Amino acid sequence: MTDLELLNREQKEAVFHTEGPLLILAGAGSGKTRVLTYRMAHLIDECGVNPWNILAITFTNKAAGEMRERVDRIVGYGSESIWVSTFHSMCVRILRRHIDRLGFDQSFTIYDTEDQKTVMKDVCRRLQVDTKMYKERVLLNAVSHAKDEYVSPEEFRLNAQGDFRQEKIGQIYLEYQKELKKNNALDFDDLIVKTVELFQSCPDVLEYYQDRFRYIMVDEYQDTNTVQFKLVSILAKKYQNLCVVGDDDQSIYKFRGANIGNILNFEKNFPNTRVIKLEQNYRSTQNILDAANGVIHNNCRRKEKALWTENEKGEPIIFRHFQNAYEEAEYVAGEIRKKVQSQDAEYRDFAVLYRTNAQSRMFEEKFLLANIPYKIIGGVNFYSRKEIKDILAYLKTIDNGKDDLAVHRIINVPKRGIGAVTINKVQAYADSVNISFFEALESADRVPGIGKAILKIQPFVHLIHELRLKLADMTLEKLIREILDRTGYDRDLKEEGTEEADARLDNIGELVSKAVVYEEGAEHPRLSEFLEEVALVADIDSLEDQDNRVLLMTLHSAKGLEFPYVCMAGMEDGIFPSYMSIMAEDPVTEMEEERRLCYVGITRAMKELTLTAVRARMIRGENQYNQVSRFVREIPQELLGSKSVLPPEPKVFQAAENKAFTKAKEIFRTKTFDPQQFKVVKADHLDYKAGDRVAHVKFGEGTVLDITEGGRDYEVKVNFDRAGIKKMFASFAKLKKVESL
């Protein structure tokens, strides 16, 4: 028998409502997992439902395991017959039995990311696709997105009519699927797509599973994509006993394909739906919940609800505004040490949340100096990130070239066509004459059997030599930018156009900022000294492993977690919400997603919430001046502590310029794709000079600080009134001189 005294009134309602569609709107910290497990127990113990007929779907194996354990504890005998699994593991079990009906062998292989890349490479080679124009990663992302939306290759090509690039991607998608079929393989997305296809083409198989799963429960429903919605809808169609649990206010994975419409339109898709709201929160103080409610109420596309608690009112929300990120990190580190030393808290009680991974660098350095143990969640330590290690390897090679490990790392990054066989020959020669690997590259003409590979090695050696010569007259900032430009490292990332690539660019920008700060503070800045300083900070692995550590993570990684003390850093417009969301084609939708992310961050805090912002943040080596985040201003001011002082609210300027920018993007999008459009054509002269006022379609008005004439184009440095200092190529920037009155 299940003890229902542990449940509140709304939770009990959700447990007892067993027949027909049910939407449980479960606010943050409202005990939704408890409701789901008790509901399964009630179905078995009180309603006499066979455990065999229950299906519970979660998003992660960890969540599935935890739910399984809870059900086992409550129900005991027979609970092992309940299917508790992720979408993907459920589909694998079904396909292993029936995929022969779709023309596959039941022993099909599931391809991982590396396997997918290999197949895509083969497809591109066979179709003679230029992988500089169509990057494999970008193509795989496009295919994955299509599958999330349940769009077949044929549909994709039909939708792309008139768009040359999309038509090409459609052709690649078709060939990619053919290749998978030939190899009797499925990729991760196919597992769900093929299960839907199976159900749609084989009514007898569908009926079997509809009868098998008479009671279906789906957790984190706000995170489902279109094809997952389709799968659940088909399975539940016969008996309609579908219970979904989710919170539209915590839908933050749009970039992964999540469709918030699935939860918002649930009642339309399933008539006679019972809606139950779980608004009582068991995690946070009332002040924290009021702050979260105050922010999220500014969203229009949501189900109305307001979190409340029987917990105490709690401490006011702390807001601190600093001059720069250095002061911000110093304050956070100081507050943590103060609380730990006074024995009010342990390190594990604290979490620092930020919008992008690049923001972790300053906190990592401060925590190391303050001897505060910490751990990065959902990512790697700043100096351990691939792109940072790559650029540092270039700097080490330029510095002395004796670090074989560094040279090995970058010899083919970005790809230069220097294969493993060539590298082994060079290394063997270096070992035989007792010289470094780079010295062997310098003498590559003496390496036995090197052949034509020397033509690929020499440009790399020349690049390193050239940058060494320039080092004496070049700042570290310029040196890093030169490496990025000459190697095409940042260009490749920009062309990739993915969230991951953008994050990597942000990290590189943060390394540039580090170099600028080092040079400003050093009496005689030297590359070797900079590398020594970085090495001291980067030696983080020497920290002994312990659980009692402050956690650093992005807001996305914080979902589902809770901490007594939470600090949300970088609360500035342009950082959070991100600049991309402010200037998006559909700013309303993007802003609502960012606001939901803010809501998730706030509701992670149990006892105390701190928000920090800075007046000037160094981004990619340049100071940017941003306003305090609009999300901070949306918190009712009476909730902020007496020391929390907000600067005056900025004038409204956004709407008109955002409109102009959107229109410009629409015009660009309607044109047929022509590679010639992107060819840089250097102007004979510019209509403006240093000191002139100019206007940019995206950044608004600003003052020209400097113009540098390069071989390919003019580089213009502009201090924009709103966006701060930006460097840009004249041919792309299309700046217009503003005539003074």
Burial label for 343, CB within 10 Å (0-12, 13-18, 19+), is: exposed
User: Of 250, 285, 422, 603, which residue is the catalytic one?
Assistant: 250
Q: Give the C-alpha separation, 549 to 85, whole Å.
A: 32
Which residue type is seen at 224? T
Q: 254 Cβ partners below 8 Å, 6+ apart?
A: 260, 593
User: Of 39, 339, 549, 604, which residue is the catalytic one?
Assistant: 604
User: Of 33, 166, 280, 498, which residue is the catalytic one?
Assistant: 33
Is the C-alpha dihedral spanning 393, 399, 405, 411 positive or negative? positive
| 39 classed as catalytic | no
| 220 classed as catalytic | yes
| 32 classed as catalytic | yes
Which residue type is seen at 510? E
Q: Give the C-alpha separation, 94 to 98, whole Å.
A: 6
User: Of 136, 189, 219, 594, which residue is the catalytic one?
Assistant: 219
DSSP letter string over 637-679? Answer: GGGB-TT--PPPPPPP-HHHHHHHHHHHHHHHHHSPP-GGGG-
312-333 CB burial, b ≥16 within 10 A, e <16 = eebebbbbbbbebbebbbbbbb
- CA 346 to chain CA centroid, Å, is 29
Angle (CA) 194-198-204 rounded to 5° is 165
Q: Which two tokens stand for residue 635?
A: 């918190």
Burial label for 694, CB within 10 Å (0-12, 13-18, 19+), is: buried
Strand 736-737 and strand 693-696: pairing? Answer: antiparallel
Q: Max CA-CA distance within the chain? A: 85
Is the C-alpha dihedral spanning 356, 362, 365, 366 positive or negative? negative
Q: Which two tokens stand for residue 191?
A: 């597992």
User: Of 2, 10, 32, 487, which residue is the catalytic one?
Assistant: 32
Q: Tokens 């090197």 correspond to what residue?
A: 450
Angle (CA) 254-273-598 rounded to 5° is 30
| 250 classed as catalytic | yes
User: Of 136, 187, 190, 220, which residue is the catalytic one?
Assistant: 220
Task: Please give the positions annotated as active site.
Answer: 32-33, 219-220, 250, 604
